[in-house]
Amino acid sequence: MHRLITILFLGLCSLSVSAHNVVGGVYAIGNQIEGEVGFSNGDMAAAGTLIKVTDAEGNELANIKTNDEGLFSYTATRRIDHLFFANLSSGHLLELTLPAAELPDSLPSESVTGVNLSPQTMEVVAPSVTSSGQKTLEQMVERAVAKQVIPLRKELAEYKEKASLQDVIGGIGYIFGLCGLGIWWRQRQLDKQSKG
Amino acid sequence: MHIVDGALAVPVLAVGAALTVAGVAIGLKKMDYDHLPQVGVLSAVFFIASYIHLPIGFSSVHLILNGLIGLALGWAAFPALLVALFLQAVFFGFGGFLVLGVNVVNIALPAVLVYYLCGKGISSSSPKVAAVWGAAGGAGAIVLTTVMVAFSLMLSGEAFLLAAKVTFLAHIPVMIVEGFVTAAAVLLIRKVKPEFLNIKESSEYA
């Protein structure tokens, strides 16, 4: 009986309790955008949570799903601002933005369709030995830098999310201050009444 | 429990804000100003309770304590929770400013209901009966709050049953913990400071 209760209790507790802030981040590695979404207590979003990708004007680009660890990835085809929306139910929404500036310069900034590919642009696209070598090098540098910077950015985001002791004490101070104001105001009313 | 900005439709936000204004007005009118320090202390308790995450199993929960606040304050729960929720939004980023009204109603209205439903029970002469009523109030306030959160989401377009189920299931551990905490708090306060729960000392000795 006791074991049953324990199992039941643990089972209930393993459900992610959603009374927390939603946190997340998106990072570009070359033209790959990787992101994560989860709750401020360390739980990640449930696998299969839908992430809507749009451009700055709200045009939908794709719908992607998170994996088991709350991570998702999207391959950018244009150098534009990417917006990511996640809805983790129970009123938990998250909007993440990846500015165009973080994507590689090699991506076109406008959509390129097959129709307006003139021979001239074809020439530019056609790879020559030197440019492709340079491109690989650029990509390598980008990837290496991203690898170093992403952990820092994650840590910074975590740090920003965490309220410090100052915040806690400050909040309590505000509440007591308000109480003091109330008592002072009340006292003044009583004084006025007793005088008048 | 804290709904964030952007999750709800404008009419829902407006109704929430209006109800909060009304509730706070009633609360300030009905509040016994000699009990102002109590209101402040419980407001501070709520402010902190959401910040402290208790690890249980693989996840963590945080207390909400709106049942206890309701039992102790009645209608004054509205101003107390408004202040606490506002400061949580400022300092911790919980919830948001546009959605503040809805969050206050979702948490304070169950507190007031619990005050009317269980207030008599906790002043029973038998400590056991009082503890059971306290537990019912603590857990009941969370149940009511989850239903109201789900209702706010439904009015903004989410499927009610789905939203209610998700929110309700996720808060079952909180309900259990709150039931125990509120019962224990009721028993303790009855002993050391019965007037805190509006219990006249005469009933203590009756």
Q: Above 0.90 for ipTM, yes or no?
A: no
- The reply to whether A173 and A106 lie within a common domain is no
- For residue B166, which residues of chain A lie inside 8 Å, CB to CB? 18, 89-90
CATH number of the domain bearing residue A55: 2.60.40.10
**What average pLDDT does range A160-185 have in this prediction?**
85
Residue type, B62: H
State which residues form the domain around B197: 10-205
Q: What is the pLDDT of residues B35-45, one digit of tens each?
A: 888 899 999 98
Burial pattern B142-158, b for ≥16 Cβ within 10 A else e, equals: bbbbbbbbbebbbbbeb
| Residue B104 maps to a domain | yes
Q: Token pair for residue A43?
A: 């739980």
| Residue B131 maps to a domain | yes
Distances (CA, A) of B114 to B100, B118, B175: 21, 6, 14
Residue A87: beta bridge partners? A93
pLDDT of residue A91: 63
The residues in B 72-91 lying below 8 A from A, measured between CB atoms, are 83-84, 87-88, 90-91
| Residue B33 maps to a domain | yes
Q: Where are the alpha helices (DSSP H) in chain A?
A: 2-14, 119-125, 129-161, 165-195
| Residue A175 maps to a domain | yes
State which residues form the domain around A185: 169-196
pLDDT at residue A155 greater than cutoff 50: yes
| Residue B165 maps to a domain | yes
- The reply to whether A158 and A173 lie within a common domain is no
Three-state SS at A37? strand
Distances (CA, A) of B126 to B51, B67, B70: 34, 20, 21
pLDDT of residue A36: 80
- Smallest CA-to-CA distance from B64 within B193, B181, B152 is with B181
Higher pLDDT, B206 or B178: B178
**What average pLDDT does range B90-106 have in this prediction?**
87
- Smallest CA-to-CA distance from A24 within A45, A55, A47, A52 is with A45
Q: What is the pLDDT of residues B5-62, one digit of tens each?
A: 777 888 889 999 999 999 999 999 888 888 888 899 999 989 888 877 777 665 667 7
C-alpha dihedral sign at A138, A143, A148, A154? positive
Residue type, B110: P
- The reply to whether A182 and A96 lie within a common domain is no
For residue A41, what is the enclosing H or E element? Answer: none
| Residue B186 maps to a domain | yes
**What average pLDDT does range B65-70 have in this prediction?**
91
pLDDT of residue B109: 94
pLDDT at residue A67 greater than cutoff 70: yes
Cβ–Cβ contact B92 with A under 8 A: yes
**What average pLDDT does range A46-65 have in this prediction?**
79
pTM listed for this prediction: 0.70
pLDDT of residue A122: 46
- The reply to whether A193 and A154 lie within a common domain is no
The CA-CA-CA angle for residues B89, B64, A179, to 5°, reads: 60
- Smallest CA-to-CA distance from A66 within A103, A29, A94 is with A94
CB contact under 8 A, A22 and B47: no
| Residue B16 maps to a domain | yes
| Residue A83 maps to a domain | yes
Residue B194, CB-side half-sphere exposure with 13 Å CA sphere: 15
- For residue B180, which residues of chain A lie inside 8 Å, CB to CB? none
**What average pLDDT does range A116-127 have in this prediction?**
47
B38 — phi, psi (to 5°)? -60, -45
Q: What is the pLDDT of residues B140-192, one digit of tens each?
A: 999 999 888 888 888 877 777 777 777 788 788 888 889 999 999 998 988 88
Torsion of CA A76, A77, A79, A85, to 10 degrees: -40
In the sheet that A50-55 helps form, which strands lie side by side, from edge to edge? A60-65, A50-55, A82-87, A93-98
| Residue B181 maps to a domain | yes
CA–CA separation, A99 and B93 (whole Å): 23
| Residue A45 maps to a domain | yes
Task: Count structural domains, chain B.
Answer: 1
CB contact under 8 A, B174 and A41: no
CA–CA separation, B190 and B68 (whole Å): 13
Cβ–Cβ contact B158 with A under 8 A: yes
Task: Count structural domains, chain A.
Answer: 2
CATH number of the domain bearing residue B131: 1.10.1760.20
Residue in A43, A179, A183 closest to B59 by CB:
A43
| Residue B59 maps to a domain | yes
Q: What is the pLDDT of residues A86-101, one digit of tens each?
A: 877 666 777 788 787 7
